[in-house]
A and B are shown apart, each in its own frame.
Chain A
């Protein structure tokens, strides 16, 4: 028996871990095929980041809260509140 890592990215509506999920991605080290298909009208796997904790996911990284960049204070770009979770599964 050995372990493989499953990784879940949750993008939350704010820096709070109990904020609503607005986006997500999943990569599973225990699956041979392509990454899970994109869903046409997706429903988030969890309502909030805390709900992922309650389901056994371990938080391994959270985006820092960054001050706005001088000169680009009102620019939007990449999602700001990315939380990375892992779960180890036996194969």
Chain B
């Protein structure tokens, strides 16, 4: 399927996604589709299981044919560019759900990771679409930047009420947020006066997610493997993004998070020499020595 490369994510945006596990785009969806969605979602409200849905495994291109505001949004060039960049042009439908937080619903959902514990480098995405303005405190989905690579299982993290640096989605109607499958998140209390609607769809990739975005800034952002904060380094590279800790990271976890981001970036770029702060490179060098020693001294 041909696509307009001008709507693909940049390498800098992809690196930001790897660093934080989330990207938010404000006012992506035009208002006529937002209004049509609210009308559609209102027919089933919180009983979204009664809304006609595709089968899991359906190709993205076959989801919600015309006339459907959902299908129209998924086909918007700006949305398609986000999806193609992250999961390729031919992902499949996992599931979707319309989430409603009514005004006066003041219970915050427990923090969680969706589905079950996952350890693959390949990842699903979850796209959230908010068809009306979301003011702070009015139920925008809460999330924890940089939590996406933590290996936890679903609601095992429910005990964590507050983490420094946590955020809520807010923004004008038509705002879209895209999460790595592992991002910690929760439904939030709605202190506003109108229902908060959110449409969420999970998509599975069907091919390696390698260099599917706009690569015009690739060399500049990918940088050099010797980008090392204790030697010579750059400030605007992927390596710089991966070494920047989130405010809730423990000291001991921060460098491990850098390594885990570098591993994910190697998968996405196919660049097996990429590194941030030399951690993977020095380990590989010593590993080769170990292997050679064991070969002569088994």
- Give the interface size bracket for B toward A: 35 or more
B208 proximal to A (CB < 8 A):
no
Q: Mark B119-161, 1 if CB is under 8 A from A, else 0.
A: 0000000000000000011000010000001111000110111
Q: How close is A81's CB to chain B, nearest CB, in angstroms?
A: 6
Tell me whether B157 and A78 are in contact (CB under 8 A): yes
Q: How close is B147's CB to chain A, nearest CB, in angstroms?
A: 9
Tell me whether A74 and B162 are in contact (CB under 8 A): no
Q: Mark B158-172, 1 if CB is under 8 A from A, else 0.
A: 011111101110000
Q: Note all chain B residues with C-beta closer than 8 A to A74.
A: 256, 259-260
Instruction: Given A38-B161, A76-B253, output 7 extra A-B contacts at Cβ < 8 Å.
Output: A11-B248, A14-B252, A40-B136, A40-B167, A40-B168, A78-B152, A79-B250
Q: Mark A37-64, 1 if CB is under 8 A from B, else 0.
A: 1111110100000000000000000000
Total residue contacts A-B, CB cutoff 8 A: 88
Q: How close is B19's CB to chain A, nearest CB, in angstroms?
A: 14
Which one of A24, A35, A41, A80 lies within 8 Å of B250 (CB-CB)? A80
Tell me whether A78 and B156 are in contact (CB under 8 A): yes
Q: Note all chain B residues with C-beta closer than 8 A to A40.
A: 136-137, 142, 167-168
Q: Note all chain A residues with C-beta closer than 8 A to B253.
A: 76, 80
B247 proximal to A (CB < 8 A):
yes
Q: How close is B148's CB to chain A, nearest CB, in angstroms?
A: 11
B257 proximal to A (CB < 8 A):
yes
Tell me whether A36 and B161 are in contact (CB under 8 A): yes
Interface secondary structure of A, over-half rule: loop
Which one of A12, A22, A35, A76 lies within 8 Å of B260 (CB-CB)? A76
Tell me whether B250 and A81 are in contact (CB under 8 A): yes
Complex-state Cα separation, A14 to B254, whole angstroms:
11
Q: What 8 A-B pairs are tightest by C-beta distance, nearest first? A: A25-B161, A23-B163, A42-B162, A38-B108, A22-B248, A77-B151, A14-B251, A76-B253
Interface secondary structure of B, over-half rule: loop
Which one of A13, A25, A80 lies within 8 Å of B160 (CB-CB)? A25
Which one of B137, B151, B163, B257 lies within 8 Å of A22 (CB-CB)? B163
Tell me whether B162 and A25 are in contact (CB under 8 A): yes
Q: How close is A18's CB to chain B, nearest CB, in angstroms?
A: 13
Closest chain A residue, CB of each to CB of B248: A22
Tell me whether A26 and B250 are in contact (CB under 8 A): no
Task: Report if A34-B247 is in contact (Cβ < 8 Å); known contacts: A25-B159, A39-B162.
Answer: no
Tell me whether B106 and A34 are in contact (CB under 8 A): yes
Q: Which B residues, 228 to 253, have Cβ-Cβ distances below 8 Å to chain A? A: 247-253
Which one of B159, B162, B257 lies within 8 Å of A76 (CB-CB)? B257
Q: Note all chain A residues with C-beta closer than 8 A to B189.
A: 37-38
Q: Note all chain A residues with C-beta closer than 8 A to B162.
A: 23-25, 38-39, 42, 44
Task: Report if A23-B248 is in contact (Cβ < 8 Å); known contacts: A37-B189, A74-B256.
Answer: yes
Tell me whether B164 and A76 are in contact (CB under 8 A): no
